[in-house]
């Protein structure tokens, strides 16, 4: 199976369904997210190596800082904030990120 945007979208929906099912079954959302993240990160390190796993986390952290910075600028200008960064319309991370040279 090719690694396509459609596949990434399908996988994102599957992860969201697992999250929703666990929360609906009574698990605290924070515990579900932390557990899913820990399991995914451990598997990522197994597949791509610890350096790539660390770089991936750094990239995610950078994206979150950009979102926070953009939201702060919007509020300073007195504009209404935009949609939440993790809504259903959020695009998946570019699957080719690991093939690019680090900054």
pLDDT tens-digit readout, 16-68: 999 999 999 999 999 999 999 999 999 999 999 999 999 999 998 888 888 77
Q: Encoding tokens for residue 7?
A: 């596949």
CA distance 90 to 5: 12
CA distance 31 to 43: 18
Ordered by start, the domain boundaries in the chain are 5-92
User: Residue 72 burial by CB count (10 A; 0-12/13-18/19+): exposed, middle or buried?
Assistant: exposed
What DSSP element (H or E) covers 84?
A: none
Question: What is the value of pTM for the model shown?
Answer: 0.60
């Amino acid at each position: 199976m090719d690694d396509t945007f459609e596949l990434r979208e399908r996988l994102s929906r599957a992860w969201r369904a697992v999250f929703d099912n666990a929360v609906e079954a009574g698990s605290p959302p924070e515990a579900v997210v932390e557990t899913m993240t820990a399991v995914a990160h451990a598997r990522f390190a197994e597949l791509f190596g610890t350096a790539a796993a660390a770089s991936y986390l750094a990239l995610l952290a950078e994206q979150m800082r950009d979102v926070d910075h953009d939201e702060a600028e919007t509020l300073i200008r007195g504009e209404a904030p935009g949609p939440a960064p993790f809504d259903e319309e959020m695009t998946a991370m570019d699957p080719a990120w690991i093939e690019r040279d680090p900054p």
